């Protein structure tokens, strides 16, 4: 497939590196990973400049082979038992009011890493009681007992990204299942309706407009509260190709449709990512 030229509206503004260096130095000292770095997020400079980051726990190597993702794949790393304490220390040092915790997928662990999520949530609460916590979790291979561990820890938001339309799953998320991802969000609400649920979808992978709207309707069927919609950007030539750059007007159209469907908060735009300005959803 020929390379699709990048349009003007996808230019990322330059940001000061002073805050960026502060965050990066702290991450190195505490041996922490961020999805900002590992996923090559285009908003990394801005977020680090605001002294915020999405912490990625359970190592930096994923057990799955998603073709859109820049996170390393291969043999899993040993779980760092100091990680909960270190994440909590970073949250306090950065004076965060809202923090996002995500992870690589750890299909090699008995509970998929759910218990480690709980340890991180509890450590943050013990260290900085007032902070709101959002977790962006994997599907835990559909294990409801693992999911309940996270639900019982009662983070403010549980996010699980649907990522793309069902027909593209075999190409984009070969080890995931569309219905299983919907069930994660459905089961969170079944277990505890007071927790806000959130999901996100990427555009430009080859999906059609009606397919996107169908996914949004499916998310509302399982009472998903918050939604992010962003442009897929291929990390390299080895990843799934960009089929199309979606115009900002179309993102606005999807945002309008999503609000009409009943989502409580929608962030939709070419550079929107799952955790970008995440604190806005709770305002």
pLDDT single digits (tens) 249-274:
999 999 999 999 999 999 999 988 88
Both tokens of residue 281? 């959803």
Q: Greatest CA span in the chain, whole angstroms? A: 52
Q: How far apart are the C-alpha atoms of 109 and 71, rounded to whole Å?
A: 18
- What is the pLDDT at residue 13? 57
Chain-centre distance of CA 236, in angstroms? 20
Confidence (pLDDT) at 75: 75
Q: What is the pTM of this model?
A: 0.89
Nearest alpha carbon to residue 156 among 111, 183, 180, 125: 125
Angstrom distance (rounded) from CA 38 to CA 41: 8
Phi-psi region of 223 (alpha: psi -120 to 50; beta: other; left: phi over 0): left
pLDDT score, position 38? 47
- Rounded to whole angstroms, what are the CA distances from 181 to 18, 131, 150, 161, 259? 38, 27, 16, 8, 22
Contact indicator for 276, 227 with CB cutoff of 8 Å? no
pLDDT of res. 157: 96
Q: For tokens 């990843």, what's the residue?
A: 239
Domain count, the chain: 1
Domain coverage including residue 198: 14-282
In a domain, 5, yes or no: no
Nearest to 202 by CA among 155, 169, 175, 236: 169
Whether the CB-CB separation of 193 and 225 falls below 8 Å is answered with no
Residue 255 falls within a domain, yes or no? yes
Q: Which CATH number fits the domain that encloses residue 71?
A: 3.20.20.70
Is residue 4 included in any domain, yes or no? no
Give a yes or no: residue 8 inside a domain: no
| Domain assignment of residue 6, yes or no | no
Residue 54 lies in a domain: yes
pLDDT at 151: 98
Q: What is the pLDDT of residue 42?
A: 57
pLDDT along the chain (283 residues), means of 10: 69 56 75 60 56 79 71 78 94 87 92 98 96 95 98 97 94 90 98 97 96 98 97 80 93 98 95 78 79
Q: Please tell me the distance from the alpha carbon of residue 264 to that of residue 257, in angstroms, as a whole number.
A: 12
Closest by alpha carbon to 203, among 162, 151, 244?
244
Q: What confidence score (pLDDT) does residue 20 get?
A: 62
The pLDDT score that the predictor gives to residue 9 is: 72
Burial class (CB in 10 A: 0-12, 13-18, 19+), 76: middle
């Amino acid at each position: 497939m020929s390379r699709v030229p990048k349009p003007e509206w996808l230019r990322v503004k330059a940001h000061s590196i002073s805050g960026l260096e502060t965050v990066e130095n702290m991450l190195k000292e505490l041996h922490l990973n961020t999805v900002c770095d590992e996923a090559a997020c285009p908003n990394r400079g801005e977020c680090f400049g605001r002294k915020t980051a999405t912490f990625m726990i359970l190592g930096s190597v994923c057990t799955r082979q998603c073709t859109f993702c820049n996170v390393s794949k291969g043999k899993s790393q040993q779980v760092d038992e100091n990680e909960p304490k270190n994440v909590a220390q970073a949250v306090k040092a950065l004076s965060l009011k809202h923090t996002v915790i995500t992870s690589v997928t750890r299909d090699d662990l008995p509970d998929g890493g759910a218990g480690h999520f709980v340890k991180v949530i509890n450590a943050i609460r013990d260290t900085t009681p007032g902070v709101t916590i959002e977790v962006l979790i994997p599907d835990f291979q559909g294990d409801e007992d693992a999911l309940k561990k996270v639900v019982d820890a009662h983070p403010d938001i549980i996010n699980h990204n649907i990522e793309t339309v069902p027909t593209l799953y075999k190409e984009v998320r070969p080890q995931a299942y569309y219905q299983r991802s919907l069930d994660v969000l459905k089961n969170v609400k079944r277990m505890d309706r007071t927790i806000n649920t959130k999901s996100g979808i990427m555009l430009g992978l080859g999906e059609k407009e009606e397919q996107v709207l169908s996914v949004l309707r499916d998310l509302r069927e399982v009472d998903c509260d918050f939604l992010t919609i962003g442009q897929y950007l291929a990390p390299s030539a080895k990843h799934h190709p960009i089929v199309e750059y979606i115009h900002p007007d179309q993102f606005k159209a999807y945002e309008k449709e999503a609000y009409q469907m009943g989502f409580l908060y929608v962030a939709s735009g070419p550079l929107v990512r799952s955790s970008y300005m995440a604190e806005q959803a709770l305002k």
